Amino acid sequence: MKRLWNFSAGPAVLPEAVLSQAAAEMLDWHGSGMSVMEMSHRGPQFMEILQSALEDFRELLNIPESHKVLFMQGGAIGQNAIVPLNLLKGFNSAAFVKSGSWSAKTIKEFARYGRADVVAEAREIKDDSGVRAANTYVPSIAPGSISPGSAYLHYCGNETIDGVEFKHIPDMHSLGAAHVPLVCDASSNILSRPMDVASHGLIYGGAQKNIGPAGLTFVIVREDQLDRALDVCPSAFNYRTVYDNHSMYNTPPTYAIYIAGLVFKWLKDMGGLPVVAELNRKKAQMLYEAIDGSALYVNRVRHADRSLMNVPFQLREEALNAEFLSLAQERGLTQLKGHKSVGGMRASIYNAMPIEGVEALVDFMLTFEKERA
């Protein structure tokens, strides 16, 4: 068996220990005589799997009692519509931070439901060498710019495509909007470090970046946000309905929940999010140092806002892109091609990417530069 170092942005690498355990339990889960995939979602065995996944997720993120966890489907792009359907009752606008490609998509979808007020937007700016680049920093929100009538303020905690990450959450008090709920798309940095859940009204994301298989969507919602849905909100997507039915109003993505549960246990065994965060910091630092120290590679994101999960970089000699990718593949380093909107390369180094994988990448990059450039 040969496994590659997989730098995909999502669906992404999973911990090998989790995959091995899932393989061992595939045909007969804990003496049940069946695979988790074949179980009734209402049977005692799956209920136990769901319950412990929920509890471990809460424990890892230190989620306060005031906040409920829902497991849904439809991904973060689904939530771009599901959030307004659930939070717009009595409102006609919401505020947004436009920090990159994913938040831009969220804003576009929202416009079908209400008026999107963009209260901060990353501009295209020139870097040190005069190259213009878009989405290279977290734009700041001017105090007083959030309309008091906003249903919520939305931001994308980590722009997966652009490699821009919020290191501090918007402080709604100092922005003069303490009563406006804060909503976060945390698809690609959830569980990468401890998070201030209590300050949010809602946090959501797809599982396939840093949690588990595609198909599962997590929603962390403060209790007072459960009853703000528009009448047209589909029942299967109504937070109150999903909550009252313990994430079982419709059949949940059972196998994805099972794998997510194994990942949560794996994170707990590592020592929880403070330990995970330290490891992630080390991995990212190693990669950014290699980029910054090189004459061939460049990352144009403002240092303080650089993502610890997704590291885009360009080759200053773009003609070398194809060769870089094919030699990387030969070395067992895969999925390094950048998103088409940004070009160049992108290395996603989620929780499940071992430090050895990052070392192998850095080693390859240095060798490639020495030999080709």
Tell which one of 76, 146, 172, 358 touches ligand PLP (CB under 6 A). Answer: 76
Shortest approach of ligand PLP to residue 76 CB, angstroms? 3
Judged by CB under 6 A, which stretch of 130-138, 171-179, 180-188, 236-244 contacts ligand PLP? 180-188
Number of residues assigned to the chain? 373
Using alpha carbons only, what angle is made at residue 315 by residues 313 and 320, rounded to the nearest 5 degrees? 135
Q: Which two tokens stand for residue 126?
A: 């020139």
102 catalytic per annotation: yes
Catalytic site residue from 98, 209, 283, 337: 209
Cβ-based neighbour number of residue 44 at 10 Å: 10
Residues 6+ apart with CB under 8 A from 27: 35
Shortest approach of ligand PLP to residue 57 CB, angstroms? 17
The rounded distance, in Å, linking the Cα atoms of 198 and 328 is 42
Shortest approach of ligand PLP to residue 310 CB, angstroms? 8
Q: Which is nearer to ligand PLP, 104 or 358 (CB)?
A: 104
Residues 144-173 binding ligand PLP (CB under 6 A) are 156, 160
Q: Which is nearer to ligand PLP, 185 or 305 (CB)?
A: 185
Shortest approach of ligand PLP to residue 67 CB, angstroms? 20
Q: Which is nearer to ligand PLP, 75 or 364 (CB)?
A: 75
Q: Does 226 bind ligand PLP (CB under 6 A)?
A: no
Q: Does 247 bind ligand PLP (CB under 6 A)?
A: no
Judged by CB under 6 A, which stretch of 70-78, 109-117, 220-228, 288-296 contacts ligand PLP? 70-78
The rounded distance, in Å, linking the Cα atoms of 318 and 322 is 9
Q: Does 184 bind ligand PLP (CB under 6 A)?
A: no
78 φ, ψ to 5°?
-60, -45
Shortest approach of ligand PLP to residue 32 CB, angstroms? 30
The rounded distance, in Å, linking the Cα atoms of 63 and 26 is 31
The rounded distance, in Å, linking the Cα atoms of 184 and 61 is 15
Q: Does 71 bind ligand PLP (CB under 6 A)?
A: no
Tell which one of 56, 162, 185, 305 touches ligand PLP (CB under 6 A). Answer: 185
Distances (CA, A) of 330 to 5, 241, 247, 326, 364: 11, 50, 44, 6, 11
Tell which one of 150, 188, 238, 335 touches ligand PLP (CB under 6 A). Answer: 188
What is 183-214 written as a DSSP string?
A: EEE-TTTTTSS---GGG-SEEEEESTTTTSST
Catalytic site residue from 56, 162, 185, 305: 185
Torsion of CA 166, 172, 177, 182, to 10 degrees: 60
Catalytic site residue from 5, 29, 102, 266: 102
269 catalytic per annotation: no
5 catalytic per annotation: no
The rounded distance, in Å, linking the Cα atoms of 8 and 321 is 17
Assess contact for 102 and 161: CB atoms under 8 A. yes
What x-and-dash track marks residues 92-121 binding ligand PLP by CB under 6 A?
A: ----------x-------------------
Cβ-based neighbour number of residue 50 at 10 Å: 21
Residues that bind ligand PLP (rule: CB under 6 A) add up to a total of 13
Q: Which residues bind ligand PLP (CB under 6 A)?
A: 10, 75-78, 102, 156, 160, 185, 187-188, 206, 209
Residues labelled as active-site residues: 102, 185, 209
